[in-house]
Structure 1
Amino acid sequence: MRQPDIEIYLKDAEQQAVTDWLGQALGPCTPWQQKGQTFKCRAGDIPVTWLPKAVGKWHSLYLESDATPWADDLACAQAACAALGVEVRCAPGGWQEEESDEQADRWLRISAEGVEEITWRTG
Structure 2
Amino acid sequence: MQDLEIYIRDLELAKLTEWLGNQLDNLVLSEPASATAAIKGAGDYRGHRVRISAYPGASGKRYTSLVLEADELPWNTDLECARSAWRAMDGEIRCSQGEWQEGEPVEEEKWWRLDDRGEQLVVWN
Q: Shorter-normalised TM-score: what interval?
A: 0.7 to 0.9
Taking the aligned partners of 2:119 and 2:24, their CA distance within structure 1 comes to 24
Q: Does 1:10 align with 2:8?
A: yes
**Paired AA for residue 65 in structure 2:** S
Equivalent position of 2:38 in the other structure: 38
Q: Which runs of 5+ in 2 are unaligned?
A: none
Unaligned segments of structure 1, at least 5 residues? none
Partner of 2:75: 70
Question: What is the deviation of 1:52?
Answer: 1.6
* 1:117 Cα offset (Å): 0.5
**How many Å apart are 1:67 and its aligned residue?**
1.1
Query: How many pairs align?
Result: 118
SS of residue paired to 1:116: strand
How many percent of aligned residue pairs carry the same amino acid?
34
- The AA in structure 2 aligned to 1:64 is E
What is the CA-CA distance between 1:16 and the residue it aligns to? 2.0
The match for 2:117 is: 113
Which structure has the highest strand share of the two?
2
Shift of 1:98: 2.2
Q: Which amino acid aligns with 1:113?
A: R
SS in 1 for 2:86: helix
After TM superposition, the runs of 4+ consecutive aligned structure 1 residues lying more than 2 A away are 33-37
Query: Which position in structure 2 is the counterpart of 1:57?
Result: 62
Query: RMSD in angstroms over aligned alpha carbons?
Result: 2.2
- Structure 2: how far apart are the matches of 1:34 and 1:83? 21
Deviation at 1:19, TM superposition (A): 1.3
Higher helix share: 1
CA distance in 2, matches of 1:108, 1:66: 24
Distance 2:71 2:97 in 1: 17
